[in-house]
Amino acid sequence: MRKFTKIVAPALIAALGLSAAAPAMAQPMRHQQQTMRHADIRADISGLRAQIDRAAQRRTISPREAAGLRNQAAQVQRLYAQYARDGLSARETRMLETRVNQVRVALHMERRDYDGRRG
């Protein structure tokens, strides 16, 4: 019985201690991932604005097209601000990424149509 208390009991205590520490260690990882999500979305939105401004400067899109695309980018920015108050969930991140991609596609299409009109 003494062997049990000397060898097995400390091993059990150590195993229980490690299993209790795992959720506590996961918390900083979640926070870090959430911070990275925020940074990625903010970078995508600011990059989108820069792409629109660059296309307008180069006159590959008309001022009217640029204004419409800027408006869409501003809507994405407002949606990000609304979601970011409580922290971004995976669903909200996907939705924001989808919106950013929709504006990017619209910018690409406006560059290629050469008609100077929205849509």
In tens, the pLDDT along 31-80 reads 666 677 778 888 999 999 999 999 999 999 999 999 999 999 999 999 99
Q: Quick one: angle between helices 9-57 and 90-113, nearest 10?
A: 20
- Domains of the chain, residue spans: 31-113
Q: How confident is the model at residue 20 (pLDDT cuts 50, 70, 90)?
A: low
In tens, the pLDDT along 67-106 reads 999 999 999 999 999 998 888 888 998 999 999 999 999 9
State pTM to two decimals: 0.67
Q: Contacts by 88-97 with C-beta closer than 8 Å and gap 24+?
A: 88/34, 88/37, 88/38, 88/41, 93/37, 93/41, 96/41, 96/44, 97/41, 97/44
